[in-house]
């Protein structure tokens, strides 16, 4: 009798775990289907920054990551973290004494669409950003993502003067 109850409980647990596992797979598949195609993705890999009137600015960072073993959510997370890390590396360029030109090339930096090849082209812009971000990086947000035939994903994050100020204001209110 105890063996029979144990078997029923075991079957019940297996069924519940099976549904839970299936639900997780179904959620992953749904997330995959909801990502748009990269065919008409408007952002290029690397850093793009623009200064606008009235001391406003926009910095975009786009990163691509290969999807391994159909783990799309991991690839999206990795692409977002890589984009944020590239943004951080870009903002720290002025603090680096012996910057290698390779890092500037690797970050694929563009100002108003024009590719930057040397640190000297960035000197004044980096000085401005250092003043703005002297208290740390805030206001970075995910703005777009896409998938390329399930083989890779692209993610773009941005920080603007508005998102920076909103994050700074929110931080002050929370203290």
pLDDT value for 173: 84
State the burial class of residue 34 (Cβ atoms within 10 Å of its Cβ: 0-12, 13-18, 19+).
Answer: exposed
pLDDT value for 157: 95
pLDDT value for 25: 45
pLDDT value for 23: 47
Beta pairing partners, 148? 152
DSSP-assigned letters across all residues of 42-87? ---SEEEEEEETTTEEEEEEEEEEE--TT-HHHHHHHHHHHHHHHH
Q: Could you list the pLDDT tens digit for every one of the 175 residues in the chain?
A: 555 554 555 555 555 655 555 444 444 444 445 678 889 999 999 999 998 888 788 999 999 999 988 788 899 999 999 999 999 888 887 666 565 666 777 888 888 888 888 777 887 888 778 777 767 778 899 999 999 888 899 999 999 989 888 888 888 888 7
pLDDT value for 108: 86
């Amino acid at each position: 009798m105890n063996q029979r109850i144990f078997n029923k409980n075991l079957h019940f647990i297996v069924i519940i775990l099976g549904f839970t596992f299936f639900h997780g797979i179904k959620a992953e598949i749904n997330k995959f289907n909801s990502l748009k195609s990269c065919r008409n993705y408007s952002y290029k890999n690397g850093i793009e920054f623009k200064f606008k009137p009235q001391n406003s600015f926009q910095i975009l960072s786009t990163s691509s990551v290969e999807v391994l073993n159909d783990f799309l959510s991991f690839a999206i997370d990795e692409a977002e973290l890589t984009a944020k890390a590239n943004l951080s590396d870009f903002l720290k360029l002025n603090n680096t004494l012996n910057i290698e030109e390779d890092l500037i090339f690797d970050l694929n930096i563009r100002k108003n669409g024009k590719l930057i090849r040397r640190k000297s082209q960035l000197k004044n812009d980096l000085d401005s950003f250092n003043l703005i971000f002297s208290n740390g990086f805030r206001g970075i947000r995910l703005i777009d993502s896409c998938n390329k035939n399930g083989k890779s994903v692209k993610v773009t994050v941005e920080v603007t003067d508005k998102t920076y100020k909103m994050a700074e204001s929110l931080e002050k209110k929370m203290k």
